[in-house]
A and B are shown apart, each in its own frame.
Chain A
């Protein structure tokens, strides 16, 4: 069975960008602070437009903010 997770570097990028607060980031990308908290904690996978808005806020490519991880539980079938 495949299980995929999306890791993110939002916390690090916030601190790299002048210690931006969660509220400031939320205001810039147009969501609530609770949504930023959930994204940072990996509890919520944002939509593609929101992911692009976050990446644009930090002036980095989207791959630098979000990384997709595939972890296979169980032996691969050949």
Chain B
């Protein structure tokens, strides 16, 4: 039984490693577009760029409001950051549609299936995160007392980061499961 678990975990580790060494392959000269799908590329960009930038830029106005009190500039910057962070995917949809008119096939039924699964995983983790946040607040603060208003925007901003992170990781794991070593060499 333990041998089976070991074999399974080694298999899973290999699959993950296969997917997560792709940026290294790119760094060693292989073309970004040749070894990755559009969805894979977007997942890597989201994981390495969008999530850290969002986690920092989304939290910065909240921190400033917490330290200096609410002002027009701070509230405006928070509104801008959340609007851009929460709705930027609409711009991506628009640009992708415009580009896909002349580009070769970059999205097919397998990508769609992977995207649906990873979005479901992201939604599930996001929901668990919100439940955990509620329970944590109830446990840390007695029901009769109050909490800082900064908690709510923080929970929302980090919730979006959690969703994007989970979606990206599950997308990459699913692509890693279908990958072979030869894919990197071709």
Residues of A participating in the B interface, judged by any CB pair closer than 8 Å: 22, 26-27, 30-32, 34-35, 37-38, 41, 43-44, 46-47, 50
Residues of B142-186 whose CB lies within 8 A of A: 175, 177-180, 182-183, 186
Q: Cβ of A38 and Cβ of B110 under 8 Å apart?
A: yes
Q: Cβ of B178 and Cβ of A27 under 8 Å apart?
A: no
- Interface size for B (C-beta < 8 A) is 19
Q: Cβ of A43 and Cβ of B183 under 8 Å apart?
A: no
Give the total number of A-B pairs whose CB atoms are below 8 A apart.
Answer: 46
For the residues of B in contact with A, the DSSP-based class is loop
Q: Which of these binds chain A: B48-56, B75-83, B89-97, B101-109? A: B101-109
Instruction: Collect the chain B residues with CB atoms within 8 Å of residue A46's CB.
Output: 109
Which A residue sits closest to B106, measured CB to CB? A32
Q: Apart from A31-B110, A32-B111, A34-B175, what are 10 other A-B pairs with CB-CB below 8 Å? A: A26-B105, A30-B105, A30-B108, A31-B105, A34-B36, A34-B37, A38-B179, A41-B178, A43-B177, A44-B110
Q: Cβ of A37 and Cβ of B178 under 8 Å apart?
A: yes
Most buried by B among A22, A35, A50: A35
